[in-house]
């Protein structure tokens, strides 16, 4: 096995050490691997009750939620770029993030619905509106879809601004913070709410990774290969919208993550979606966990994760881009 294959294989397995290592990272409580080992092999009393709560009720759900959100955003980004055959596309291109932000703002300001369902519903609504607005004669062109996404994004951003304008400073602060993404309120409850749509989305993307290669050839080529282009695109966009809406609903908006990570993965394994989608899941999830580890261990207070994804992710992306060529030749 050559070096490159070994690197790729290790990237498939990277979530295991990253997730285990993250259990022992935190600014407030020091819990070591030895402590955990003793907890399971000697006595449960070797860990204080507070440390047990920190480990099992706070860190584990947070790490799992971060991994899931990272995996969903990056694999969805990779799939969207293949479907649209456009390297600038990310999962939020259909206005999903601004729809979700509007839903969250409505919830914060007017309590019409709980925050997570409200963000989820409006995220789906925005993506659905973009899709159906772009549809002409039962066909959806890529350009129309991207343009309608931009317009719907603009509409929901305007609506969000109205809500922000009439909100009091406390609610305004909540809305702004939500739009920057955060995991400091991660909990088992949030995982319970979001795991089904996110896991289902990841499974469908894994199942469709072969077909993504055909779709990435273009509509005519895909059609002549026997692929039902319209149906497959609709299924993929629906699944991605549902999974990403769930991710955004529980974590807020983590901008550019779904754009950058697929490109990083493409620089490693090339454009083959059979490899790209699984690696987007493992590497995308792990990378976000590492970024969150840094954000929660650097200081005792929390900064929105969106800040760190850009400050850490963007330089890595630029470095890789300088060193390698962007892998974008289908």
Partner 1 sequence: MLHAETTLVGVSTNMYSSSLYPYYAALDDRIKNKSIPVPGNWDFVNLESVIALQPDLVIVWSSQNEAIEALESHHIPVYAVMLNGVDDIYKEITDFGILLNKQERADTLITFTKNQIASINKTANNPLSVYFLWSSGMFETAGLKSTVNNVIVSAGCINACQSEQEHISINAETLIKWNPDVILLWSSDSHDPTDVMNNSSLRMVKAVRSKKIFELPSAFDCDLWTLKYQFAVAFLHESAYNNSYSVESLRSKRNSIMTFLYGKPF
Where on the chain is the footprint of partner 1 (CB under 8 A)? 26-29, 49-50, 53-54, 57-59, 108, 111, 165-166, 168-174, 177, 182, 184-185, 187, 296, 300-303
Closest by CA position to 156, among listed 194, 124, 202:
124
Which DSSP category does 300 fall into?
S
Nearer of residues 158 and 326 to partner 1, judged by Cβ: 158
Nearer of residues 88 and 299 to partner 1, judged by Cβ: 299
Nearer of residues 59 and 263 to partner 1, judged by Cβ: 59
* Alpha-helix runs per DSSP H in the chain: 3-13, 15-22, 33-41, 49-52, 60-84, 96-110, 115-134, 142-166, 169-179, 188-207, 209-215, 219-224, 229-251, 257-269, 273-298, 305-308, 314-323
The distance of closest approach from Cβ of residue 65 to partner 1 in the complex, given in angstroms and rounded to an integer, is 13
The distance of closest approach from Cβ of residue 313 to partner 1 in the complex, given in angstroms and rounded to an integer, is 21
Tokens 């997570």 correspond to what residue? 116
The distance of closest approach from Cβ of residue 67 to partner 1 in the complex, given in angstroms and rounded to an integer, is 17
Question: What is the SS3 string spanning 36-83?
Answer: HHHHHHCCHHHCCHHHHHHHHHHHHHHHHHHHHHHHHHHHHHHHHHHH
The distance of closest approach from Cβ of residue 309 to partner 1 in the complex, given in angstroms and rounded to an integer, is 17
Nearer of residues 61 and 197 to partner 1, judged by Cβ: 61
**Residue 299: strand, helix, or coil:** coil
Nearer of residues 8 and 180 to partner 1, judged by Cβ: 180
Nearer of residues 111 and 228 to partner 1, judged by Cβ: 111
Q: 126 with 100: CB under 8 angstroms?
A: yes
Q: 80 with 90: CB under 8 angstroms?
A: yes
Structure tokens given for 287 = 């990378």
The distance of closest approach from Cβ of residue 289 to partner 1 in the complex, given in angstroms and rounded to an integer, is 15
The distance of closest approach from Cβ of residue 157 to partner 1 in the complex, given in angstroms and rounded to an integer, is 17
């Amino acid at each position: 096995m050559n070096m490159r294959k070994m690197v790729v294989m290790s990237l498939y397995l990277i979530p295991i050490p990253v997730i285990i290592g993250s259990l022992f990272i935190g600014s407030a409580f020091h819990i070591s691997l030895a402590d955990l080992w003793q907890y399971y092999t000697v006595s449960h009393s070797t860990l204080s009750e507070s440390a047990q709560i920190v480990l099992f009720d706070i860190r584990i759900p947070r790490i799992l939620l971060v991994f899931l959100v990272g995996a969903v955003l990056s694999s969805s980004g990779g799939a969207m770029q293949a479907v649209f055959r456009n390297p600038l596309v990310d999962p939020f291109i259909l206005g999903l993030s601004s729809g979700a932000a509007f839903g969250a703002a409505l919830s914060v300001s007017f309590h019409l619905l709980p925050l997570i369902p409200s963000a989820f519903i409006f995220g789906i609504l925005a993506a659905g509106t973009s899709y159906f607005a772009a549809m002409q004669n039962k066909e959806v062109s890529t350009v129309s879809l991207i343009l309608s996404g931009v317009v719907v994004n603009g509409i929901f951003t305007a609506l969000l601004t109205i809500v922000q304008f009439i909100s009091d400073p406390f609610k305004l602060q909540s809305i702004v913070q939500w739009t920057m993404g955060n995991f400091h309120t991660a909990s088992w409850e949030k995982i319970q709410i979001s795991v089904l749509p996110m896991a289902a989305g990841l499974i469908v993307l894994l199942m469709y990774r072969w077909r993504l290669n055909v779709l990435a050839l273009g509509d005519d080529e895909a059609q002549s290969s026997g692929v039902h282009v319209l149906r497959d695109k609709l299924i993929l966009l629906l699944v991605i919208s549902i999974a990403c809406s769930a991710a955004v609903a529980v974590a807020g908006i983590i901008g550019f993550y779904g754009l950058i990570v697929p490109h990083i993965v493409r620089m490693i394994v090339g454009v083959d979606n059979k490899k790209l989608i699984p690696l987007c899941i493992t590497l995308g999830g792990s990378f976000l966990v590492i970024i969150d580890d840094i954000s929660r261990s650097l200081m005792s207070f929390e900064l929105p994760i969106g800040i760190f994804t850009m400050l850490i992710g963007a330089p890595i992306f630029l470095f890789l881009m300088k060193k390698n060529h962007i892998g974008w030749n289908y």
